[in-house]
Structure 1
Amino acid sequence: MKAAVLTKFGAPLSVREVPDPVLGTGEVLVDVVAAPVLPYTGEALAGDRGFQLDLPVTIGIGAVGRVRAVGPDATRLAVGDWVLCDPTLRSRDHALTPDIMLQGWSARGEGGLRLQRPYGDGSFAEQLLVPTENAIPLGPIDPANAGRWVAATVVSLVPYGGFLAGELRPGETVVISGATGNFGSAAVAVALAMGAARVVAPGRDEKMLAELEKRFGSRVRTVVLTGDEDTDREAMAAAGPVDLVLDLLPPSVGGGPVRAAAMTVREYGRIVLMGGVQDDLSLPYRWLMRNGITVRGQWMYPRWANLRLIELIRSGLLDLNQFEVTEFALDDVHAAIEHAAATGGKFHATVLRPGNDTNPVR
């Protein structure tokens, strides 16, 4: 099969023939129809993000495709079924603290690197081998919409996991720190789909803030950030009692904007940290203690979140048509990476179409 292989950080991807994956027990083999190209893919391949990967490896995080073959432990999946390939892989031998890796993308610690040995290769390829539990049934879909499905699910699952961790309830007010970014803008749509009464969307990108207001109307209140913590905190808090703050800010941001958003939360409110900020976060001890504030870190999402997010899409609460998709062939992967960086996500998704979506058995 053909795949895009990373041989060295900082080197271009090599699109070449590689051995077909070999199906084993506890696995599903999928013909990849659509794979997302995240806006920071170029940074990851250059090594700027510090991701742990054993090279060489086929790159690519997540996919939508059709089942080519299943192992003996699959009792419901069948050849030809449409599936979402969840890139969050967990070890099976410790239920409380499983090792985790993102297939074709990064790992967490030594245990995550060990998971790469059987499952390191990602979705920029014609076929993808995943553990059985990571092939999530989608039900019938229009093949033309495969790109939208993968764009909506892979990007939206991250903030959805944050809202689940923060126990978002219908009728609550949410501050999304980083709302004008790729994951942050998707978070606005997900929060409203989950029943948030109001979403406060702070950011510096005034064009994107105006777009959020246009898309979602009066339930979204935008705030143009000034860079002054006190001023920004007061502007965000003006929307009323804030029940939950979800931080999705990128590595380039310091701790100040995180703190400004976090401290808008009401007494007994919740803060969920999911971004890539590298600085330590200083929050006042007495404020946390006296107000009963819950602060939680969250990386990715629980396994069952996939099914619930698919149901949100199927119900129409989360609209696939919000995502504009530009598709590229696998041979054009370098152009796809450049396009993803230039468009910056924010409801504009870049997708690879590696193979044939009409017949999963060739």
Structure 2
Amino acid sequence: MKAAVLKSFGSPLAIENVPDPVPGTGEVIVDVVATRVLSYAGEVFSGMRAYALDLPVIPGPGGIGRVRTIGPDATKLAVGDWVFCDPTVRSRDDAMAPDITLQGWSARDEGGMRLQKHFRHGSFAEQMMVPTENVKRLGKITSDEATQWCALGTLLVPYGGFLAADLRPGETVLVSGATGNFGSAAVAVALAMGAACVVTPGRNDKVLADLVRRFGMRVRPVKLSGDESDDREQMRRAARGPIDCVFDIMPPSVSTNVVRAAIMTVRPYGRVVLMGGVGMAGGAGLDLPYPWIMRNCVTIHGVWMYPPDAATRLIALVRAGLLRLEDYEAKAFDLDHTNEAVAYAAANAGPFKMTVLRP
């Protein structure tokens, strides 16, 4: 089969023929039809992000495809099924605290690296081998629609955060980082889950206005000034009532003051979800007042990715018409032009934009 192979950090991906994957028990082979190229893929492949990858590797986190081969332990899947390949692969020998690797992308720790040595190759290929439990049925779609369904990979991240916070219909949410790629996805997901309104602080007037255009008056934009106290007050006013859940997905470059201003808008007994990158690039960590957390009974959830059943539940939201994949604008490339796709993704990042490979 043809694949894009990362042989060394800092080198272009090599487009070449490699052996077809051979499945064992508990594994499925999927013909890849469409897969996302993340905006920061070039930073991963250059080594700038220092992601844990055992080279050489076929990169690519998850994708959309059709089942080619199933194992003897698969009782619901059938050859030809349209599926989403969930890249969050978990070890099977510790259900309470499994090791995790993002197939074709990065491992979290030493255990994840051991797992990666088997489930190593990702979706920048004509076929990929996926753990049976990571293959999620989509129902009937067309080949053209597979491109749009790649948005699941982006939407799943904030969905995992909101599941951890037990977001309920009718609640008020604040998304810190709403003008970014994952932040704008969080706005869409919160509304699909029944949030009464979503407060969207940010500095990008164009994106804030676009969120209102897409989702209506349930979106409450706030233009940030940079003054922590003033911004916190403006966010509370925009909510027009208690803020039940604050979701943070700010990147590493953002000041901790901005993040803290948003987090401390949450009501007593409210929940905070941390899924952003504060502190990952060095510098000061997030300083939250112990007495404020304790006396207000605030629950803080650190969340990485999402639970195993999240993809199936999110697919149901799409099928119910509550979450619109058509909000995403996609630019597609074939496998021979993978390096061009990586460059395009970096230059054209933003809310509701995708770069997609069509192997």
TM-score normalised per structure 1: 0.96
Write the mapping of 1:40-79 to structure 2, written as runs, cut at 5 A: 40-79=40-79
Instruction: Tell me, yes or no, if structure 1 residue 257 matches structure 2 residue 253.
Output: no
Match for 1:300: what amino acid? M
- The residue aligned with 1:345 is 350
Matched, 1:180 2:179: yes
Cα displacement string for residues 241-280 of structure 1 (whole angstroms, at most 9, x for unaligned residues): 1100011111222322211110000011000101122241
Return the offset for 1:48: 2.1
- Residue 214 of structure 2 aligns to which amino acid in structure 1? R
* Partner AA of 1:253 in structure 2: V
Counterpart selection for 2:310 from 292, 305, 308: 305
- For the residues of structure 2 that align with 1:277 and 1:43, how far apart are their CA atoms? 18
Secondary structure at the counterpart of residue 61 of structure 1:
coil
Q: Distance in 2 between matches of 1:189 and 1:243?
A: 17
Structure 1 unpaired stretches of 5+: 355-362
Q: Does 1:322 align with 2:302?
A: no
SS at match of 2:3: strand
Q: Which residue does the alignment assign to 1:87?
A: 87
2:142 maps to what in 1?
Answer: 142
- Number of residue pairs matched by the alignment: 353
Q: How does 1:86-165 map to 2 (within 5 A)?
A: 86-151=86-151, 153-165=152-164
* Counterpart Cα distance in 2 of 1:177 and 1:13: 35
Structure 1 segments of 4 or more deviating over 6 A? Answer: none
Range 5-14 or range 263-272, more displaced: 5-14
Question: Residue 278 of structure 2 aligns to which amino acid in structure 1?
Answer: V
How far 1:345 moved relative to its partner?
A: 3.5
Deviation at residue 69 of structure 1 after TM alignment: 0.3
For 1:143 and 1:2, the matched residues in 2 are separated by 19
Shift of 1:50: 2.3
- Alpha carbons 1:66, 1:83 under 8 Å: kept: yes
Contact 1:103 1:122 in 2 (8 A): yes
Equivalence for 1:289:
294
TM-score by length of 2: 0.97
Paired with 1:338 and 1:226, the residues of 2 have a C-alpha distance of 33
- For the residue of structure 2 that corresponds to 1:58, the secondary structure is coil
User: Any idea what the Cα deviations from partners look like across 1:188-210, whole Å, max 9, x if unmatched?
Assistant: 11100000001011112211111
Instruction: Return the alpha-carbon distance in structure 1 between the equivalents of residues 48 and 190 of structure 2.
Output: 31
Alpha-carbon separation, structure 1, partners of 2:102 and 2:226: 33
Looking at structure 1, the residues matched to 252 and 49 of structure 2 have their Cα atoms a distance apart, in angstroms, of 8
Aligned letter for 2:221? T
Equivalent position of 2:2 in the other structure = 2
Q: In the aligned structure 1, how far is the partner of 2:296 from the partner of 2:91?
A: 37
Contact 2:4 2:335 in 1 (8 A): yes
Tell me, in whole angstroms, the C-alpha distance in 2 between the residues paired with 1:90 and 1:268: 32
What is the DSSP-based 3-state SS (H/G/I as helix, E as strand, rest coil) of the residue aligned with 1:16?
strand
C-alpha distance in 2 between matches for 1:263 and 1:220 = 20
Tell me how far apart the structure 2 counterparts of residues 103 and 189 of structure 1 sit (CA, whole Å). 26
For residues 2-55 of structure 1, give each alpha carbon's deviation from its aligned partner in whole angstroms, at most 9, with x where no partner exists.
111111222211111111111111000000000001111111112222211111
Answer yes or no: is the 8 Å Cα contact 2:192–2:317 preserved in 1: yes
Conserved 8 A contact 1:38-1:345: no
Query: Structure 2: which 5+ residue stretches go unaligned?
Result: none
Instruction: Tell me the equivalent position of 2:339.
Output: 334
Amino acid at match of 1:320: L
1:192-229 Cα shifts (integer Å, max 9, x gaps): 00000010111122111111011111000111122221
Distance in 1, Cα, partners of 2:45 & 2:253: 17
Deviations 1:86-116 (A, max 9, x none): 0000000001000001001110110000011
Q: What residue identity is the alignment partner of 1:224?
A: K
Question: Could you say what the CA RMSD is over the residues aligned between the two structures, in angstroms?
Answer: 1.0
